[in-house]
A and B are shown apart, each in its own frame.
Chain A
Amino acid sequence: KQEVTQIPAALSVPEGENLVLNCSFTDSAIYNLQWFRQDPGKGLTSLLLIQSSQREQTSGRLNASLDKSSGRSTLYIAASQPGDSATYLCAVGDSSASKIIFGSGTRLSIRP
């Protein structure tokens, strides 16, 4: 059974810092891995999607990496801004992508 873990559960850093959010999964036979952002009381915003054959994806100040063999993914946020404050969810798609298993999220707070 696939399990997705995100560490840390919460993180607070001053504005301008670069930071890394971690995600680990127990079954390396994944179809894809996705990072989402969720603002309080809101739905999900997809940030980056990495297919199982890829090692990383970049979008603006965000870079996500995937190492299937070790069951790990990281989300790197450069030059953090207060507007980046949100909960970041890592989600692993199973072998058919018909089922997504979510991590418990990292609550990120960027201090001005």
Chain B
Amino acid sequence: GAVVSQHPSWVICKSGTSVKIECRSLDFQATTMFWYRQFPKQSLMLMATSNEGSKATYEQGVEKDKFLINHASLTLSTLTVTSAHPEDSSFYICSALGGADIQYFGAGTRLSVL
């Protein structure tokens, strides 16, 4: 149980375009989901906390207008990277908060912006 699906696993896009990443909790409901970013050979850094039905909470230094988060249902949160640029190329991972306050992680999305 407690499976989190993240899609797509890999995306390549042109500079200036927008990319949407989906994070789904498959067998449980998650009122809270998290989005992390990981640069090569670095650890995961929390970008934002996504709360169902309300606005996301962004960490310091993360541009909310660039990284749009929507958590419209108890099983789906989306992260849209708007007007992507090469410096946005990274590995993005989501997690969903399940029972016993345990975060369950998706498999990640590798974004490459040309």
What residues of chain A have their CB less than 8 Å away from a CB belonging to chain B? 31-32, 36, 41-44, 46, 49, 89, 93, 96-100, 102-105
Contact = CB atoms under 8 A, between A and B. Distances in A.
A43 B106 contact: yes
A23 B6 CA distance: 28
A102 B91 CA distance: 15
B41 to A, nearest CB: 8
B101 A31 contact: yes
A94 B104 CA distance: 16
Is chain B's interface secondary structure helix, strand, loop, or mixed overall? strand
A49 B97 CA distance: 14
A93 B105 CA distance: 14
Given A31-B101, A97-B101, A104 B107 contact: no
Contact of A104 (B6, B32, B43): B43
Interface residues on B, range: 20 to 34
A41 B112 CA distance: 13
Interface of B: 6, 32, 34, 42-46, 49, 91, 93, 95, 97, 101-108, 110
Nearest to A96: B101
4 closest A-B pairs by beta carbon, nearest first, are A97-B101, A43-B107, A43-B108, A44-B105
Given A43-B106, A98-B49, A104 B101 contact: no
Contact of B43 (A32, A42, A89): A89
Contact of A89 (B44, B46, B104, B106): B44
A54 B103 CA distance: 18
A96 B49 CA distance: 13
Contacts of A96: 101
A31 B91 CA distance: 27
Contact of A43 (B46, B93, B102): B93
12 contacts: A41-B91, A41-B110, A43-B93, A44-B105, A44-B108, A89-B43, A97-B102, A98-B49, A100-B34, A102-B43, A102-B44, A104-B42
Contacts of A42: 107-108
Contacts of B42: 104
Contacts of B44: 44, 89, 102
